[in-house]
Amino acid sequence: MAIEYHKRALSLVPQEHTLMPHVLASAGRSYLAESARSRDLENVNNAIQLLDRASSLMSDDNASNLGVLYLYPGLSMLFKQKISNHEGTPNPSDIMNYLNHGLQYAVGELAPISLLLDVGSAYIIRSAEHDVDTAIGHYNRALLLTPDGHPQRSLLLSYLGNSYLSRFRYQRDPADIEKSFNYHVLALLLTPGIDCADPKFLETLETYIDFTLKHLEDHKIVDNAITSLSQIISLLSDEHFVKPTILNNLGILYSRKSEYFGTVEDVEKAINYSGRAVALSRLDHKDRCRWLGNLGNSYYYRFNHLRCIADLNQAIEWQTQATLSTSPDNAAMPMLLNNLGTSYLSKFEYYNELTDLDHAIEIQGQAVALASDEAQRSTCLSNLGNSYQRRFERLGSLEDVDKSIQYKTEAISLTPGEFRGFYKLFNNISSSYEQRFEKFGELADLHKAIDYQERAIKLTPRGHADRPSVLSNLANSYLHRFKRLGELQDIDSSIECHVEAVSLVPEGSAVLHRYYNDLGASYHNRFDRLGELRDLDKAIEYQAQAVSLTLDESSKKPVLLSNLGGSYQGRFERLGNLGDIDSAISCQTQALLLTPNDDPLRSMRLNNIAYAYAGRFRLTKEVADVNEAIEHFNQAISLLDDAHTIKPQILESLGFSYCARFEYLGQLDDVEKAIKYQTEALSLMPQQHERMSNLLSSLGSSHRALFERINNPKDLELSLKYFRAAALSEIGHPSVRFISAHNWGALSLLNESPSTLEAHSLMMILMPQVVWLGLSMGQRYEVISAYVQRAATNAVLAAIYLHRYDLAVEYFEQGRSIVWNQILRLRMPLESVSASDPQLAERLERIARSLQLKDAQVLDESNQMPGLPPLEYSDPQYCRLAEEWGRLVEEARALPGCHGFLNPRQIVELMKAARSGAVAMINIHKNSCDVLGLLPKSESVVHIPLPEFSYDKAVTMRASFLDALRQGNIRNRSARRPVFSKLASHNAIEAILADLWNDLRSSPNERLRRVTWCTAGPLAFLPLHGAGLYEGFGSRVFDHVVSSYSPTLNALLNAIPSPTDFRLLAVGQLETRGCPVLPGTVVELDRVQEKVGDLGFMRLEGERATAESVLAAMGHHSWVHLACHASHHSSKPIKSAFRLYDKNLDLAAISSATVESRGLAFLSACETAMGNSQLPDEAVHLAAGMLIAGYPSVIATMWSIEDDDAPLVAEKVYAHVLKGSLPKLEETAEALHFAVADLRDSIGEKGYLRWLPYVHFGL
């Protein structure tokens, strides 16, 4: 109607009339209004034409009207552009040209609010990023012009909110979404009477919440959002229609914040706000089902924090109401069902009731069926997969775990790569693969699990509450791979991940027990590999905490108790304490009582308690214990089918228990049953199983026991077969293979089998793996003492029996000073490797330096990490260095001409050890004692049996000798002569020396001028150089030979340094804190200096003799004389040291110092050649250490020396070796021989305790 009137007006007004522009403009606006109603393009075109004509006729003297007339054509063109997709749409530049002209003529106060609103809207309609900025500028100008109470203020605030929302979508600036939300809130507060929210406000609220939830790691963003919503709530009455929506969103923020950071106080607030939202909502509100679900979710989160079952029940109640309050076609229904199913899964995990688990699967299956949105479907599928995984854990059905992996794989495929929660999907599917690996043992499943977990941890934000769980899962998978493949990197990584996980879980967390338990398990497994007792102590500490934090009602309690029991048993196996095995049985019994009869893990519980009883039987020999073990093993087996991976291990243990009972009671039926069950285990166990070598070894032991009972050759053959197979197996712990090779060799010798030497040679090849460089020195010595040195002695005896004296010498050498030789190999020259591969040689040198540095670290508590045992934090790195060293050595051996790199020396090279005189290697065995002699210029080994000597006699002699030393009060070098408490000590030593002479005189010593003794076993502590008959005119060793000692033949192969390099450093320490004064040291150094003369001498005494100054001086002097106190470190001999003015100077520092050439080390100190009675073949003393440090010739003492004797001996030695123009290092042994003879002459030969301790080592 308006358009018709405007048409008539236009026909009546002359073209030149001043009113024509106004009539045209009015008509154009009418067409524009009609087009907005009808969306008719013709009306838009008419509007544009009329408004364009009006603006062209308007004069510039009416700026305001001119601005409007420019503005409206632009708005009309924009409208046409918006509703039309046809050709002929106005050019955007033409549109904005009109708008800019309009504002040019309507500025400042002349620009009406409506005009600025319209222009701003125009820019928003065009929707370019820079247009949004312009629109915001116009709206802000309008806001400045709009007073409070203005009817358009609410609309303007809303427009500003929309504009900031648009810019946020372009620029993602948090400030924009916050401003958008705040402007919408201000607009909302100005319209209290409206009963429905502006869609743009709800859109902004949703966008704001979504953005905040995606930036939970940013405290500022989250706190600003919470503050904004909290302020709105405080301004709204409970009756306001939008208040429940905001309360619900605030509850979501607190809930998700709690989930992210793991904070209990936030979940408490989430419950409060979500509860208020539900309370204020109308029953028919379309979002009420979501609010009910969110309230349930908040209770679920609190349950996860506090493990209060009332919270879980409350969660299920609210989540159930949520699903009942809406229809299946509601878009919210899939997630409501998913969350309800997850709560039922947690209820199952709490009560272990299968009905809850089945209910969870049913509900989550409905959620998957209803989910059409890919994001929803992905989440529902992943959680359904979790429930199937739990049912697999409970019932063991392959179908369940396959479904679990299937659903989780589909969930990942539906999820876009930028999804922030991707880590959860990766973490979920990894646990299913890991579970399937644990059940069926397929390594590919474990590799997939670790791959997904490593990807998950990279995507899990630091600070997120889920990070500990992801770390823990990854750690457990590393543990499983370590148990399968034995790579130390995996167990170290497992512990590192677990430690980080525990550090991230707050005290009081309801799930802390799980992290403690898993960390304990990893420590236990590293103990199993490395034998480091502190690892086992850590395992017990953490697992005990896990048990104490867990209620008996929890389905996890049996697992925790079982693991703790296993650790107690491990410590019992190591230390033999009855209390530990009693604790193990107690834990395993409780675990069994708490395990349901239909639980698939019940067989493991029975196995564990049986294993504990079997362990106690070995200590107590109580038949009731082994009977309990057998009974429980049998129960465990009755629950398993042949396909179960654990069945072979339980059969093996059952057989072992029957064999143990046979050995105790002697009932033939028991050993036959042992063989029966172990044979069945062998038929079921995969060839590549980690315990295959253990099983084969057990079978070998059982057949050996049966052979020893009934003497059937077939059993001997079978025993040999299984020991051989165990030894040759490439899978299994090196110690099991080593012991199996030892048993194989021993039985072969008994059976006169040609494989005897094959067995012992393999055993010697395995020795470096058993006494592995990656173990601490203490552990290596423990292994050597336990069985390695005995096995090496057996190998020597076997070679002697078979007249392979060349091999006997090689075995003898390989079985002695094993640890010292490992240190020496790290310093071997690398010329041959460097010639073929310089880069490999460089890597070997770098790793060798690092290993020596780590091995020599001082146990300084001030440098320890808080809460950790000394050096625990460096052990993993040391082990990895050792592994890398081993790999590089193998690479080097593959190079041309390097196949023997760092391999033990063969007989051709070892024969050269006799270049300075005969070498007598004495092997002491319970069955035979023999001398293996190397003679100068001879190409064969001389074998001399010692029929009159025996192992038992050597042990008796050693005990008597040490007792005599104790009676003689021989402890330290002192300022006074020792006070001998009993004359019997003289008589005892005299008798021992006589016995030695009578037993050893059949050796070739009496025909030789120089002999070097290489002793073994208890003989290593006896002074062979003093053997003889001291009554009347009897013979003595020193009447016939000059004696030297050497811990190894290798030490006799060192090059003799050039005498022109001679420079001597003399160190004396008169007074040392905590030690007796040594006045004789001053006189001693005076006499040494007098003998050295002008050849090159440096003297350091008193405060000048600091560890640093002495070490520096040793770098410039080839010979060293040390007159001071010394300290002996038997478990870590590299820490044995000389006591100087400020601190100890240990072998680690001495051996690492750079010296161009080294000659004689004269150790005029106490007990520098006294070893460890538990490690007689390891030469655990300072003299051997100085040999290893590079001094080819060493004078030392077997026990304490007289302070008055030392100057005389030193003077005589140097007088002999320094006669002439150049020093004669090769005459050191002879020099000491004559010096001691002079001392003996001066004090009488029966002053044994004064002249016997002086000994020479090396060249």
Residues 1088 and 1217 in one domain: yes
pLDDT value for 254: 82
pLDDT value for 973: 44
pLDDT value for 99: 54
pLDDT value for 879: 82
Residues 1062 and 1040 in one domain: no
How far apart are the C-alpha atoms of 1212 and 1240, rounded to whole Å?
A: 13
Whether 1210 and 1164 have beta carbons less than 8 Å apart is answered as yes
Beta strands in 965-1056 (DSSP E): 1010-1015, 1042-1045
pLDDT tier at 782, thresholds 50, 70, 90: confident
How far apart are the C-alpha atoms of 404 and 425, rounded to whole Å?
A: 12
pLDDT value for 1001: 56
pLDDT tier at 829, thresholds 50, 70, 90: confident
- The answer to whether position 102 is within a domain reads yes
Please classify residue 261 by burial: count the beta carbons closer than 10 Å to its beta carbon, then call 0-12 exposed, 13-18 middle and 19+ buried: middle
pLDDT in tens, 69-118: 444 544 544 444 444 544 445 555 555 555 555 555 444 443 456 555 55
Residue 471 carries which side chain, given as an amino acid letter?
A: L
- The answer to whether position 790 is within a domain reads yes
What is the mean pLDDT of the segment spanning 1193-1199? 91
Residues 1144 and 1177 in one domain: yes
Q: What are phi and psi of 824, to 5 degrees?
A: -65, -40
What single DSSP character describes residue 1222? Answer: S
Exposure pattern of 649-684 as b/e (b: 16+ CB <10 Å)? bbbbbbbbbbbbbbbeeeeeebbebbbebbbbbbeb
Residue 144 carries which side chain, given as an amino acid letter?
A: L
Based on DSSP, count helices (H) and strands (E) in the chain, helices before strands: 52, 14
Among the candidates 864, 893, 922, a domain finishes at: 893
SS (H, E, C) 438-492: HHHCCHHHHHHHHHHHHHHHHHCCCCCCCHHHHHHHHHHHHHHHHHHHCCHHHHH
**Contact residues for 1205 (Cβ-Cβ < 8 A; gap 6+):** 1239, 1243, 1250, 1251
Residues 1156 and 1209 in one domain: yes
Whether 344 and 364 have beta carbons less than 8 Å apart is answered as no
Residues 1035 and 1057 in one domain: no
Whether 836 and 1194 have beta carbons less than 8 Å apart is answered as no
Question: Hey, what's the torsion of the CAs at 1061, 1062, 1063, 1069, to 10 degrees?
Answer: 130
Residues 917 and 992 in one domain: yes
551: left (phi over 0), alpha (psi -120 to 50) or beta: beta
Most confident of the following: 927-941, 1046-1060, 1127-1141: 927-941
Closest CA to 101 of 163, 54, 140: 54
Question: What is the per-residue DSSP string for 316-346?
Answer: HHHHHHHHHTS-TTSTTHHHHHHHHHHHHHH
pLDDT in tens, 838-889: 999 899 888 888 887 766 553 333 333 333 333 333 366 788 888 889 999 9
- The answer to whether position 9 is within a domain reads yes
SS (H, E, C) 499-560: HHHHHHCCCCCCCHHHHHHHHHHHHHHHHHHHCCHHHHHHHHHHHHHHHHCCCCCCCCHHHH
Residues 27 and 58 in one domain: yes
Closest CA to 409 of 362, 458, 468, 452: 452
Question: What is the per-residue DSSP string for 100-163?
Answer: HHHHHSS-GGGS-HHHHHHHHHHHHHH--HHHHHHHHHHHHHHHHH--TT-TTHHHHHHHHHHH
What is the mean pLDDT of the segment spanning 43-71? 60
Indicate yes or no: pTM above 0.85: no
Residues 741 and 853 in one domain: no
pLDDT value for 767: 95
- The answer to whether position 796 is within a domain reads yes
- The answer to whether position 219 is within a domain reads no
**Residue that has been written with the tokens 């100890």 in this structure:** 1144
Residues 1065 and 1145 in one domain: yes
Helix (H, G, I), strand (E, B) or coil at 1158: coil
pLDDT value for 66: 44
DSSP H helices in 172-218: 174-189, 199-213
Q: How far from 590 is each of 519, 558, 653, CA to CA, in Å?
A: 21, 7, 21
Residues 1251 and 1240 in one domain: yes
Strand partners, 1012: 919, 1044
pLDDT value for 861: 34
How far apart are the C-alpha atoms of 990 and 1252, rounded to whole Å?
A: 11
Closest CA to 470 of 452, 484, 485: 452
Q: Which residue has the higher pLDDT, 217 or 812?
A: 812
Residues 1125 and 1035 in one domain: no
**Residue that has been written with the tokens 């010639």 in this structure:** 835
Q: What are phi and psi of 77, to 5 degrees?
A: -65, -40
153: tokens are 């203020």
How far apart are the C-alpha atoms of 667 and 626, rounded to whole Å?
A: 14
Closest CA to 773 of 786, 763, 783: 783
Angle CA(14)–CA(15)–CA(19) in degrees, nearest 5?
Answer: 75
- The answer to whether position 728 is within a domain reads yes
How far apart are the C-alpha atoms of 527 and 539, rounded to whole Å?
A: 9
- The answer to whether position 189 is within a domain reads no
Q: Could you give the maximum distance between any two Cα atoms of the chain, in Å?
A: 163
Residue 37 domain boundaries: 1-111
1233: tokens are 């021989």
Angle CA(804)–CA(809)–CA(810) in degrees, nearest 5?
Answer: 95
pLDDT in tens, 143-159: 777 777 777 777 777 77
Among the candidates 980, 1010, 1045, a domain finishes at: 1045
Helix (H, G, I), strand (E, B) or coil at 238: coil
pLDDT value for 1135: 80
1061: tokens are 């390099």
Q: What is the mean pLDDT of the chain?
A: 82
CATH of the domain at 1073: 3.40.50.1460
Helix (H, G, I), strand (E, B) or coil at 243: helix
Residues 1076 and 1223 in one domain: yes
Whether 194 and 156 have beta carbons less than 8 Å apart is answered as no
Count of CB atoms situated within 10 Å of the CB of 502: 18
Whether 292 and 274 have beta carbons less than 8 Å apart is answered as no
Among the candidates 111, 132, 163, a domain finishes at: 111
pLDDT tier at 266, thresholds 50, 70, 90: confident
pLDDT tier at 545, thresholds 50, 70, 90: very high
**Residue that has been written with the tokens 């310093």 in this structure:** 827
Residue 778 carries which side chain, given as an amino acid letter?
A: G
Please classify residue 50 by burial: count the beta carbons closer than 10 Å to its beta carbon, then call 0-12 exposed, 13-18 middle and 19+ buried: buried
Closest CA to 96 of 116, 71, 68, 60: 71
Q: Is the pLDDT of residue 980 over 50?
A: no
DSSP H helices in 621-712: 623-638, 647-665, 668-684, 692-710
pLDDT in tens, 1028-1056: 877 777 778 888 889 999 999 998 988 77
Angle CA(891)–CA(895)–CA(899) in degrees, nearest 5?
Answer: 90
DSSP H helices in 815-924: 818-825, 831-836, 838-855, 875-893, 907-910
102: tokens are 């309009």
Q: Which residue has the higher pLDDT, 777 or 605?
A: 605
- The answer to whether position 1196 is within a domain reads yes
Counted domains in the chain: 5
Residue 401 carries which side chain, given as an amino acid letter?
A: V
